[in-house]
Each structure stands twice: as structure tokens, then as C-alpha cells.
A and B are shown apart, each in its own frame.
Chain A
Amino acid sequence: MAERDLLLEADGVSMAFGDREVLRHVSLVLHRGEILTLIGPNGSGKSTLVRLLLGLLTPTAGALRRADGLRIGYMPQKLQVDEVLPLSVARFLTLTGRYAKEKVAAVLREVGADHVSDHPLQSVSGGELQRVLLARALLREPDLLVLDEPVQGVDVNGQVALYNLIGRIRDQRGCGILMVSHDLHLVMAATDRVLCLNHHVCCSGTPEVVTRHPAYLDLFGDAAFAVYSHHHDHAHDLHGNVIPGDESHCESGDSDG
């Protein structure tokens, strides 16, 4: 890949809080048009790594390099807005940027959440909220999308739909995508490369390589083998209505292995 397409590079990055070392010598690269997924058990340092890459924290050792003028769209793991703050979805999307109404509407259509535009933010469902958060990240026309647990709180069908959407965004916009996930199965079909983290990089590579790697099997044990694969003959839209299926697969990494 050409050098100019490099978006982000971490070189031997370590992070310690007090004398507790959370990340040890982590290196990674991310290019335009590529989906990289961070997986790892709870407390393995995924969120810390993301916050380092976002520039919210400064590493205690190692170097971080970002492409010049890199625009990042960030989708945080959790958004909890107090009921006492009256805020519509459309207003939420324009909190830090002034965008034309048409642009906001177009992005909401792109993520399939245009029907909640005028709703109070607190009233939208989990799946809708994830799409709204994604829309806010996309409004910035990012070179790099950072998605922290993008499918959490979403049922399995919704997860497949969201991963499909993320893939489509990458195809259409050509941005780089960094995802964090602790789901081991659905995400494998949605990513180009996987980086398996447990304070250090256990293994990394394509999903096929990682899911066969001894370190991965060690780390996730039985969960890694909990393979299931089935097909849907229909899907559901955000309202729960049945829509004609795209034969989506609920398939985990390596079912024939």
C-alpha cells in the first residue's frame, strides 16, 4: 500500500496508569479503505488503546503517528444523555459542527435513521442510537472512523445489519475504520484484519489467520469454538417489519476448520 494511504501508525506504544501497565509495546498500522478490529477480553486495554489513538491520552512510551490533517469520526461506546436536557437527534448531530439541513438528512438516510431526526435523543432505541452516533461521526467526513463497540446493545439481526452498513460505508467513502469489539463471531465476517489484544498484541492478521492462531485460542478458549452458522431468509428493518432477506450469514470466522 502506498505510503500516502497510511492513516495511523502506533510504534511500540506502552501506557501505564501509576505503576499499572495497561498496554505493553503495541504496534499497529491502519490504511485508508481498511477495516481493522481490536478484540480482546474485558480489561485487556482495548479502550485505552483507542483513547491513545484518538489523542485523548498520551502514551508513556512509544510513538504515535497520524497522517497530516487526519479527520477522525469517533463513535463512543456509551452515550447517556440526562432526561433533563431537551435535545433532538438533529440538534445532537450538529453540536460541534454547523451543517446544512440537507447534509444532516442525507447522512441520516445513509445510516437508515432518518425517521428519528426530530425525536428527543433519549427516546430512540439502542439500535437507532448506534446509527445516530455513526451519523454524527460521518458528518465530519472523516478519513478515519473509530467505532468503539458499535453493535453493543443491538440484537443479532441488528448487529448483522450494522456490520453490513459499516462495510458499505467503507466501500462508498473509502475511509479507514478502526473497530473495537468483544464479539468474536459476527465481527470476523465484517473486518479485513484483526488485532487480538491482551495488554500486548497476542496475534494479528486476517480473520482466518487469527482464528487459527494458538494465542487467540488460548485467550478465548471455548468461546472461540462456539461456532454457529445459519442463514436468514428474511431480515428486519428498524421498525421490526420483515423485509426481503439478502441471505446474510450469521457465520463465525472459521466454521469449516
Chain B
Amino acid sequence: MDEFLLRALLAGLGVACLAGPLGAFVVWRRMAYFGEAMSHTALLGVGLGLLLGVSTQLSVMLVSVTLAVLLVAMQQQRQLASDTLLGIFAHTALSLGLVLLAFMETVRVDLMGYLFGDILAVSTLDLYWIYGGGLLVLIVLMLIWRPLLALTVHEELARVEGVPVTQVRLLFMILIALVIAVSMKIVGILLITSMMIIPPAAARRFAVGPEQMALLAAAIGALSVVTGLWGSLQWDTPTGPSMVVAAGLLFVLVQLSGLFFQRK
């Protein structure tokens, strides 16, 4: 196997293992829009990173985490709903990113690469980001798993029973920000949310417990990555979108199989 293909495969599998479990919570907590808006914010991070000459993963991470903190802080007021706030922040950040990029005439920017991913250009350094950052994300997720699940089911009940709700919620948002930052190169800003939502949604039919659903989501995500990569080589299609198409097809297959084996 060519080395760049191996790197692409490893990167994709890493992202699938992250996006699955985290995405399960995104689905349970109905935060699809949050994921979407958060990832759009990443473009501001890209712009800032290029402007300051630092690693874009780092700058995306900083911008996304700042947005998460800002959002949790703003949620303490009641006048504007959080999805409205999110829309304001995220779209302003996205546009600001585009404006910044336009100012940098000297830097040639592959905008399409950032928007839809460029997995075949993944470097060894990118792999370190994915696996290093990913390991950190999974460890923190395991540590907050029970309280996060408790507050997903009923926030006030969890609070009365001693769960530090605000802190756990903030940590979870930061984890999403980190996942977006490390996996941006793989499927791109516009598609990263799909890798968090489609695999868990497909996993739901087979899962009888939350942990099982999270693991199955990772497996379905990994299968989408492999299938998508293979398809993109086979038919010379863009790799990121091919993976998402594969995930979508898997979801449809699962739903169809449900029609034939309607037992559960």
C-alpha cells in the first residue's frame, strides 16, 4: 500500500473512533446544530492560524474552545436562546474567517481542502495530532461519561443528585471543539458533523445500551471510512465526501434491514 494511502486510512479510522462515541452524545442531546455551527467557526481558526503563521490545528482548537466557553457563559442569561447565540457567533466567525483569508493575498489557500477535507494530503504530523488529541478526548470522555449521560437524561435531577452540570457540559463542548480541530483535514469543515451524526444514528437500531451504541457508532464510522476511501480510489471521487456518502448508504441499509427484520 502506498504510504499516503496508509496515512489516509489511519487518519480516517482515528477520526471514526473519536466521532462515533462523541457523536452519540451529540445525537442524544440534539446538538447537531451545535456541531455544525462549531465546525463552521473553524474557518476563523484557519484564517488566524495562517495569518499568525502557527499550526492551523492549534488555532482552530483555540478558536473553537473560546467559542464553547463564550457560549456556556452566555447561556446564563435567558433573553436569547442558545441556538440563536450559536448562530450569531458561528456565522460571524465563519464570515470573519473568509474575510481574513481574502486579506492574505500572499498566502495561497486551498479553501476547498478546508471545507471538504484533503485526507490524501495527511502528513505524519497530522496523524500525531489525530491520535494524540484523540486519545486525550477519549480519556476525558470516559471520565465524564456517567455524569454526562445523567445530565443528558434529566439535567435538574442530575444537578440535585450532585452532578456538576455546568462544568461537565463545558467539558463536553470543548471535546467537540477538539475533535473538529483534529479531524478538519479528513472530511473538512462542512462535513465533519456528518461523521458525528450518521454513524450513531445508524447504530441506534442494534444498540440496547448507551455504551454499546457509542462503540457501534465507531465501528460503523470506521466501515464508512474504509468503504469511502476504497470508492474514492476506485472511481476517482473526492475522498471526504465519499466517506460521508458511504456512511449515508450504511444508514439507509440499516433502515432497510430494519424493515425486513422487524422484531425489535
Contacts and interface: CB of A to CB of B under 8 A. Distances in A.
A85 B154 CA distance: 12
A177 B214 CA distance: 39
B10 to A, nearest CB: 30
A87 B209 contact: yes
Interface string B172-209: 00000000000000000000000000000100100111
A140 B28 CA distance: 26
B80 to A, nearest CB: 15
Would you call the interface of chain B mostly helix, strand, loop, or mixed?
helix
Contact of A96 (B27, B146, B201, B209): B146
A243 interface: no
Given A56-B159, A74-B157, A95 B212 contact: no
A82 interface: yes
Contact of B210 (A54, A74, A76, A86): A86
A239 to B, nearest CB: 23
Nearest to B200: A84
B15 to A, nearest CB: 22
Contacts of B161: 74, 96-97, 140
Given A74-B161, A95-B149, A96-B158, A86 B27 contact: no
B156 A56 contact: yes
B248 interface: no
A86 B207 contact: yes
Given A91-B209, A95-B153, A96-B147, A84 B28 contact: yes
Interface string B139-162: 000000011011011101111111
B150 A96 contact: yes
A97 B154 CA distance: 14
Contacts of B209: 86-88, 91
Contacts of A84: 27-28, 201, 204
A82 B156 contact: no
Nearest to A120: B208
A86 B212 contact: yes
A79 B146 CA distance: 18
Nearest to A139: B161
Contact of B154 (A54, A76, A140): A76
A92 B158 CA distance: 11
B28 A96 contact: no
Interface in A59-111: 72, 74, 76, 79, 81-82, 84-88, 91-92, 95-97
Contacts of A51: 156
Contacts of B150: 95-96
Nearest to B158: A96
A87 B153 contact: yes
Chain B CB count within 10 A is highest, among A87, A92, A146, for: A87
Interface in A7-27: none
Nearest to A54: B160
B94 interface: no
Contact of B153 (A55, A74, A85, A88): A85
Given A96-B147, A97-B161, A87 B210 contact: yes
What 3 pairs across the A-B complex have the smallest Cβ distances? A95-B150, A96-B161, A74-B160
Given A56-B160, A86-B208, A96-B158, 8 more contacts: A51-B156, A72-B160, A79-B154, A81-B153, A84-B27, A86-B213, A95-B150, A97-B161
